[in-house]
Structure 1
Amino acid sequence: MQKQRVSQVFVPGGMPKLTYVERTQGEIREKLESAKDNLCKLVTLTGQTKSGKTVLTQMIFPFTDPNVIWVDGGSITAENDIWEQVLDRLDVYPNEEVNTSDTASTVVSGKANVSASILIAKGGGELGVSQNDGSTKGKKSARNITSKNAAIKALAESQASLIIDDFHYLDRDMQGSFVRAVKPLVFHGVPVVLIAIPHRRYDAIKVEREITGRLENIMMPYWSVDELKQIATIGFPLLNVNVSSAVVDILASEALGSPHLMQEFCKSLCADYSIKETSEKEIKISKVDDSLFKNVAESTGKVVFDKLATGPRQRSDRLMRLLKSGERVDIYKVVLYALSKMKPGMQTIQYEELRSAIRDIVAETPPQAHEVTRVLEKMSEIASNEEASTPVIDWEREEQKLHITDPFFAFYLKWRAH
């Protein structure tokens, strides 16, 4: 049996080459691959956070392929940042040299990175003009063109694929402006793929309006328990580890539809049994301790939980409320502790359900309705400002609904140390 390292078999948050699971009979993959074949449509891939969207896209558009440009939406503060990254990846600078002559025999020589026809050269390039009519009537002029125009030209000439990950990070106006800019590229078959979370930050309607009739939207469905189990059933045999089906069932059911969490559980289970690489002798595992889930929870969700519990700022005058547990906490922790009691998973929570959970944990008069909604609004605001690809919670005031949008945060609510 070939030796494998655990770190190569189970890769939470990375590219799992050995435990990659082909889902839904490859339909999603086929749709993504069609973008390469002169599809002439803007492709959007949407699905829950940490559901494997980036991993799947990298299988088709490898990050290491020189003809594929990956842009991380989280690194973009202005639209020009996108075009600068495109130019950098294509090794092009936004300047243009135009050579003219009044003779028919003009030779343009030099080095251009994309195409001599558009004469975009890095660092000014080396461009010259020579004539053979015996006179020197040639003229060379240079002008700067915008990064945006240079990048669009370079993409058109190179036919490089452009992938924007975490597209929902861009503000809504920037999303619309970007889509308008790439319409001509899409029309001419240049592959453009936007990866996003179906959240209100991502204005799908605006994107569709900007490119009516030329949009191919691919939905990444939730991972089923059976699909998550495949990560374990593929990976553990590579390490000569026999994990009981009961344990695999528990791991998959706790993963909340997230392959990232499932990879984390499998790797942690190996660590609990001091497995670092393929074992000479078969190792049998027939139980999993709750401490595994608690440890994973502490390492994945505690930071944002604590930030939400702190609230917008530390204040000494917040009313402390007595809980049935004997602890005294302010209203921010009351709300979070109530959520923790509910163990909602990735479900949407109705406001009255949350109010009921709050009444169950407080020993005194529960906070009033307007106090709870104010806290939910503040928490949603804090979550939106966090350096994460999407807020972990989202309060929809009009509908009186609270959405738990991050599986790591949902997992922490269930398994945090009380």
Structure 2
Amino acid sequence: MQLKAENVFKPGSFPEYTYVSRNYENTGIPYELRLKQALRTAGCLTSIIGPSKMGKTILCEKVIGIDNIVEISGADFDINTDFWAIVAAKVGLPYLGEITTERETIEGNHRENEEQKERYILSKDKVIQYYKDNEKVLVIDDFHYASKEMQIKMAQQLKDAIRRELKVVVVSLPHRADDAIRQNADLSGRLSLINIETWKESDLKEIALKGFKQLNIKISDEVASQLSVECLTSPQLMQYICLSICTLLEDKNENVVKTDILKTAYRFTTVNFNYSDVVNVMSKGPNPRGKKRKLFKTVSQKELDLYGLIVESLAKNPPIMEMNFDMLYDRITNLIPIDNIKPDKQSVKNHLNNLQMILEDKEEIYKAIEWKDGKIYILDPLFLFYLRWGRMDE
């Protein structure tokens, strides 16, 4: 049976036909084998840390199996949440509730039915035993979404749970690291640490070559290499772009991926991503409160203030997920004609500080970048891709 594009390129689920195995930290040991080793180490908590959209969850699905994973998110918890109630609910266990019992009494010739309600709370030991008996592995994704207070509470609960041999994997981002886990003295010696590195272009290219071969679509090594650069180290983004290319080719009744379709495919792909509000917030910066901002005329004849220049500079070639301040400053000044006045470095740093404060106070989707220790990190490759290809004025 001929495979369909949506069966081959799967951005949001396990990619059966385009799964690419990578080696762990240049050891020659596959990530899959490293995770399998960690999960077999009784009494240890597994901590996976790596950039967004790098396939951390897909790795878990490959090794553990979709049927054995019980996935919860740090966003499922607030400071008042009962940790074990969530863990029990995810597997359908009635952790907290009421039991109604009926009792019949007889007085002389008169019978009466009496109802009695009792509250119960399932013990965490029984929850843990259920997970063990059914070979379930608890995967806490986006651990950084939980508040610092809740992270500490969860770490305390996990310490006892792993001692009772509950298998747990905690997944987090590098710049909002799971410090409550990795720096917890009580968990010292009980951690299996797995750092997920960014994908190499050669591995990303393999996704495209594998997938298009399955679909009998021709793609040159050169075109696949171009895709591997533009997908910004993200295998998920590569899946999205390749699926977009397939849709465009089907519409034209073609079966060869040529360079002239790539820009259209990139723009088409951004339809899936909703980052327009994030870009607007970053471009506008804080409320000026009636003060006029200095505008700079760019080489493309736009007039932008310094917030607009920062956003514009992030989108330029080459696409980079992490850059130091001098690199960012050079990009900003290159947007302005040679003879024009350039913003000074301190002003740029002040504006970056303001942006950081604005984004920290908003929902998670807005936390797409981070200005920290003299570097700017783009935490979400899909956001940078949208910045490069999803704005209608470009």
Category of TM-score, reference length = shorter chain: 0.7 to 0.9
Which of structures 1 and 2 has the bigger CA Rg? Answer: 1
| Equivalent residues of 1:86, 1:151 under 8 A apart | no
Say which of 212, 234, 240 aligns to 2:216: 240
Cα gap change, 1:26 to 1:409, in 2 (>3 Å): same
What aligned pairs does 1:3-402 form with structure 2 within 5 A after superposition? 3-24=2-23, 27-37=30-40, 39-65=42-68, 68-78=69-79, 80=81, 82-94=83-95, 123-124=98-99, 145=121, 150-151=123-124, 153-159=126-132, 160-203=136-179, 206-274=182-250, 283-287=255-259, 288-297=261-270, 299-300=272-273, 301-313=275-287, 316-324=290-298, 325-341=300-316, 343-349=318-324, 351-362=325-336, 364-388=340-364, 391-396=367-372, 399-402=373-376
Structure 2 CA distance for partners of 1:217 and 1:366, relative to 1, 3 Å: same
> For residue 115 of structure 1, what is the aligned residue in structure 2?
none
Identity of aligned residues (%): 27
DSSP 3-state at the match of 2:364: coil
Letter in 1 for 2:51: Q
CA distance in 2, matches of 1:352, 1:82: 44
TM-score, normalising length from structure 1?
0.77
Matched AA of 1:55: I
Distance 1:381 1:171 in 2: 17
**For residues 233-272 of structure 1, what are the alpha-carbon distances to aligned partners after superposition, in whole Å with 9 as ceiling and x for unaligned?**
2211221212122211111122221101111121111122
Query: Which 5+ residue runs of structure 1 have no aligned equivalent?
Result: 96-121, 129-139
Q: 1:50 to 1:390 in 2, by over 3 A?
A: farther
**CA displacement at 1:192 relative to structure 2:** 0.7
Give the C-alpha shift of residue 80 in structure 1. Answer: 1.9
Are 2:50 and 2:195, in contact at CA under 8 Å, matched by a contact in 1? yes
Q: Is the 8 A contact 2:99 2:117 kept in 1?
A: no
Q: Once superposed, what is the RMSD of the aligned Cα atoms?
A: 3.1
Q: Secondary structure at the match of 2:194?
A: strand
CA contact (8 A) 1:392 1:409 kept: yes
Q: Which moved more, 1:353-362 or 1:234-243?
A: 353-362
| C-alpha spacing 1:313/1:124, structure 2 compared with 1 (3 Å) | farther
Contact 1:74 1:389 in 2 (8 A): no
Summarize deviations over 1:68-117 as a string: whole Å, max 9, x none. 4210223333362543221213433445xxxxxxxxxxxxxxxxxxxxxx
2:158 aligned partner, one-letter code: V
> Deviation at 1:144?
5.2
Letter in 2 for 1:53: K
| Structure 1 counterpart SS, 2:232 | coil
Are the aligned partners of 2:285 and 2:354 in contact in 1 as well (CA < 8 Å)? yes
- CA displacement, residues 99-149 of structure 1 (integer Å, 9 cap, x when unaligned): xxxxxxxxxxxxxxxxxxxxxxx6427799xxxxxxxxxxx996655x8xx
Compared with structure 1, are the counterparts of its residues 229 and 339 closer, same or farther at alpha carbon in structure 2 (3 Å cutoff)?
Answer: closer
| 1:117 counterpart residue number | none
Match of 2:108 in 1: none
**Separation (CA, whole Å) in 2 of partners of 1:19 and 1:182:** 34
Change (3 A) 1:346 1:79: farther
Superposed CA offset, 1:137-194 (max 9, x none): xxx996655x8xx345411454242110011112223222211111122112210110
Provide the aligned length of Structure 1 versus Structure 2. Answer: 368
